[in-house]
Every structure is written in C-alpha cells, then in structure tokens.
A = this chain, B = another copy of it.
Amino acid sequence: MVITNSIFVLFLILIPFASSENYKYEIKFLDVPLDHFSYVNNTTFKLRYLINNTFAKDDTGPILFYTGNEGDIELFAQNTGFMWEIAPQLNAIVVFAEHRFYGKTQPFGNHSYDSPQHLGYLTSEQALADFAFLLNSLNPVPKNSREKPRPVIAFGGSYGGMLSAWMRMKYPHLVEGSISSSAPIRQFKGLTPCNVFNKILTSVFKTAYHPTCIENIKRVWDLLKKLAGNGDGLKTLNEKFRFCKNLTKVEDLKEFTDYLTDVYGNLAMANYPYPANFLAPLPAYPVREFCGRLDRINFTDIELLNHFESALSIYSNYTGKIKCLDIQSAYDSNMGDKGWEFQACTEMVMPMCADESDMFPVEKWDFKKYSDDCFKKFSVRPNEDTAIINYGGRSLDAASNIVFSNGLLDPWSGGGVLRNSNPKIKIVLITEGAHHMDLRAAHEKDPGSVIGARKVHIKSIQEWISNYHKRSIFK
C-alpha cells in the first residue's frame, strides 16, 4: 500500500484462504491472443476461466461475469458469494475469468515474469480485451439474426471492480451492466487528493475505539526508529516481536514498517462485523480490537511496545499458533503482488501521501522517486496520465448501467465514485461497510447498509436484463 515506505498497493487482501470450497464450477481454458491491439506476433495463450451453467434453465438468462483481478481466480470465485446466491433466481450462467499473469493464467508459463518482453503484456487494456474475447466465444451472436445472445452482467471488487466498470464503459455492446464494488477509479492523478486514503484510514482507527489509538500508533513509528538505532534496542525489538528473521541493523527496520503500513490498511479493509478467516484469521471488527489494546494516553515506552505487540497480534497471530512473525509480506501468497507492482509501475499509478494529522510519518508524493524505484525493479517507468487518458474518471456523463458501491469505512472509498449526476449511474454508499463487503455471501451479522446495497444490485440487474430483452436487435 503506497503510504510511507512501500511504494506499491495491493487491494485484495480480503481474500481468505479458501479453507473449504463452497461453490462448484468447471475449470476451462481458452486460447486468446497475447496482443489484442497489434499484429507484431500472433502468439496466443491459455486464459483460465471457471464456469457453472447448472442454474441456467433456458437460453435467455444472463451470464454473471466476474472480471478477475490480481490473484488466483478461484479465490475470487470462493469469496464472491453474492453472485452464487443470485444465480438461481436469475436463471444465470456464472463465469469467473482469470486476469492474465495471475493465478494459472501465465502467458509465458514460468517465464511470464522474466522481463518486460514478457511482463509488458500485463496491462488492464489487454485484460479487458481478454474478457471481451472470452465473452464473444461463450456468448456469440446466434446465427439466426432474430435471436440475441444472453445479456451479460459484469461484477468485480477493488481492481476487479475497476475492470468491471471499465468493461461496461469500453465494451457496452458485450456487457449490459456492471456491479462495481469498492473500485477506486478516481485514485489517479488530479482526480483525488493524494492524502485521502490515509485520511480515511486514520479516521477509521481514530473512531473505532478511542482517539488515543492513533496517537499511540504515531508514537510507535518514532519508538521503533529509536530502538533500531542501537544494539540494545534491536535486541528488545527482536525479543518482543519474535521475527522469523532477526533485525540486525537499523536498515532492517524498513521491512517491518512497510509490513505495519500494509497491516493497517488490511485491518481497515477487512473491518467486518463478523470473524473471518482472512490472510490470517481475524475477529469481528478487527480495528476496534486492535485499538482496544492501545487505549491509554500515558504509556511508557516499554508499556507502549508491549501493548503494541499485543495489538499487532490481532492481525499476525489471532489463533496464537504462529511461532514467529514473518514480515516479508502481509499478503496471501495466492495474490499476485509482483504482478500488481508491475501494473502500479506502468499505468496504475495511484498517488499517495500522508501529512501531519495522519497516523503515518509525513510523506509527500514523490513521483520521481516512485519512477526511479520502478525502473530499478522492472526496467519500466510509470506514466501518471495513461489510466486517465484511457479511462477518464472525472466525468461519467457518457456511461450507463453501472452501480458503484463503496463502504465508507474502506480507505479506498476516497478514490471511488461517491457522487454523480448521471441518472444511469447508481451510487451506493455503505455506511458500515469495509472493502467490497457487498459482494460477499450474505451473513447474519451483515449491517443494514450492506443488505440494502445488495438489494440495489439485484434491482439494477433485473432492470438491465428486462431492458435488454425489450430492445430490438439493431438499434
């Protein structure tokens, strides 16, 4: 998450380890062009998709189509219960399409990440074109020109939600409408101030239990820095946090602070009202739990360290079974973090910064440094304008049939579509919602605003399908 030290953002930390497979599907592959927009080579690769057509009773029902994001598509299939729950009543085919370069959809096999000559084909435009190609194959125009293909409804959360919205914007002839959940399509240069993400995050931690939580979080940054500066302090840190690999010098601290930055974002995004088995198992309302352990004003340094370690264990060791703290990544290994880093280093440039009122160290948005870091890592340089040129975002006046839903407790909501005057675009604000909670399966602890959001989704989908069937073929 781009806040302070780490320059990359991973959205979809909310995917649990799929401990049990609830939903059934066939796994299929389709040969798709590597490059949809040029003819320099005619290579194809195998795009994976999951399909279940047991709910479709005839040829008129819709296809519910998940536009896969930066991870293994099976994780999304198992964690987008909403689609599975509405499929029977809609007489729908359910499809989850994997995003190129993630999961098992590796255009160059094990060499996909070798160099920009391979990885350079990892872009959102190519991914959308993959989905369009797949839809054309699954849902062709019938030979009898008086019949219609099935209507298609796109779904996605987070980056997948951006893709589902863009899919409707760019391929409205293939997709009738789109449910775009927690999709920060305005988290680009000039569309959203760079500090909004951290403002929301700080506010979530400030209001979860007691405002002192963020004061203590701020103190921790300084305390860690002070301790890491000398041998005794390092020893204290190593003893206290039981890292899998000890810190041995002050420079080692960065990996830990990057980890903490990610953890804060993850806790807020996953701030659900029920326990969930995420990257790590988490209790209900994990931010409240976390801040509940940092609720005093006058901690001594060592008290602060003890309480902080206890708070952190909410995320890192809620089961109590973890032997040591692995700070290499705060993300599920099934998430394609390197792929997303590459995308963030090319077109998905989302400026982030923190100021003095935030719970993070002050940091300006430094595009030059960001670009240099990208070049070091991938031999590519990002372009801040590309996403805006390709997708826009300021005005949605020409778009239609999209529901943008955002949880106001989700730091990504700041870059989402929260206002709009186009009646063909629906805005759903989920006051009690974290990151794309509305796409998850129904749960008895769901707050009213999430239940309400799902009702808007269903009503919109029914409307889109009904209008589709009413419409003449050529129009």
Give the B-binding residues of A (Cβ under 8 A): 35-42, 116-117, 119-123, 125-126, 129, 132-133, 136, 141, 145, 168-174, 190, 346, 380-381, 385-386, 388-401, 419-422, 471-475
Contact = CB atoms under 8 A, between A and B. Distances in A.
A207 B182 CA distance: 61
A145 B190 contact: yes
Contact of A394 (B40, B121, B123, B473): B473
Contacts of A190: 141, 145
B392 A40 contact: no
B422 A475 contact: yes
A472 B420 CA distance: 9
Given A395-B475, A397-B471, A398-B401, A389 B40 contact: no
Copies of this chain held together in the complex: 2
Contact of A39 (B37, B136, B171, B346): B346
Say what secondary structure dominates the interface of chain A. loop
Contacts of A40: 116-117, 120-121
Nearest to A424: B398
A396 B400 CA distance: 12
Contact of A395 (B136, B346, B474): B474
B172 A392 contact: yes
Given A145-B190, A389-B132, A390-B132, A38 B126 contact: yes
17 contacts: A36-B37, A36-B386, A37-B38, A37-B123, A37-B126, A40-B120, A41-B120, A42-B380, A145-B190, A169-B172, A172-B399, A173-B394, A174-B389, A395-B474, A397-B471, A398-B400, A420-B475
